[in-house]
Chains A and B, each alone.
Chain A
Amino acid sequence: MTKVNVYVTLRESVVDPQGIAAQEALQTLGFNEVESVRIGRLIELELAGTDSEIETRVKEMCDKLLVNKVIEDYSFEIGEVAGK
């Protein structure tokens, strides 16, 4: 079994109100060095297959359902699941 972490983020061109609110809160708390906050989503998958099969299938999953490419970008990492 292989673990895949899919990271979904809003595209750069899309305003992220959650990120802006979090950035303002961080600054209020004194973290003035923070110039930008973007909030995304982590999707953890566990699935079987060779790495190249997994890469192809995960791309399909992202394009079909997990990601809305009008507003979101994605990247993913393929790694082992400990103990499985």
Chain B
Amino acid sequence: MRFAVLSFPGSSCDVDMYHALLDIVGVGAEIVSHQDADLNNFDAVVIPTGASYGDYLRPGALAQSSKSIDSLKAFADSGKPVLGVGNGFQILVEAGILPGAFLRNKGLKFRSGNAKLAVQNTTSTFTSIYEQGQQITLPFAHEYGNYYVDADTATQLKEQNCIVFTYEDGNPDGSVEKIAGVLNEQGNVLGMMPLPERAVEEIIGGTDGLPLFRSILKNWSEKNDNHA
């Protein structure tokens, strides 16, 4: 299985993601420049965090001017897994691939630390190895993590079981419904503000992010075996 780590100008955590995928999860991975927009040879796309385009205008907004967004939309439409973390989540939202928008954190400050999350949906490609309701701890670091959708959309997300992760020890950003991670309707695109690639080794403080990547791999492998 081959992952593309889509890197935009200013993306600073592409190498962390690459390391997590290649060295820890043990899948094929390549850092792909946003200008080199051909994603056809990949089985999954990951958009790393790190203030693309300097977070100018709105975090994730200027990434829409890259031609890679068209390739990304086509890739997402094809049903293959797409994961956006941190700024990658903001890019997915600004591109309209996921619903909603981001506001500045409720306390108006950049915040970082470890967030306790509850896994709300274990039927997704990204979370099938976790247990329903399992509490996990993942690092986060953001100023615009306050995820917003209007009340109707929030109801819809709940009804469609699209809310994958919620914050459990308070709500560091002020996100609607304590949302920390949300799926698209088709279930193949996940955006999340906490950073699973920073929790894949004990040496960096925990491994609660590892089952997420392993779930993607497991589901891909099962699907591929079925086709064979």
Contact = CB atoms under 8 A, between A and B. Distances in A.
Nearest to B58: A68
Interface string B78-113: 000000000000000010000111011011100000
A71 B101 contact: yes
A15 B174 CA distance: 10
Given A21-B108, A68-B94, A14 B103 contact: yes
A21 B148 CA distance: 19
A71 B99 CA distance: 12
Interface residues of A, number: 13
B136 interface: no
Interface in B37-70: 57-58, 61-62, 64-65
Nearest to A66: B57
A18 interface: yes
Main secondary structure of the interface of B (DSSP, over half): loop
A65 B64 CA distance: 8
A65 B103 contact: no
Nearest to B105: A17
Q: Which of B61, B100, B103, B108 has the most CB of A within 10 A?
A: B103
Given A14-B148, A70-B148, A71-B148, A65 B104 contact: no
B157 interface: no
Interface in A1-39: 10, 13-15, 17-18, 21
Interface of B: 57-58, 61-62, 64-65, 94, 99-101, 103-104, 106-108, 148-150, 174
Q: Top 9 nearest A-B pairs by Cβ distance?
A: A70-B101, A71-B101, A68-B101, A17-B108, A17-B106, A71-B148, A68-B58, A70-B100, A65-B64
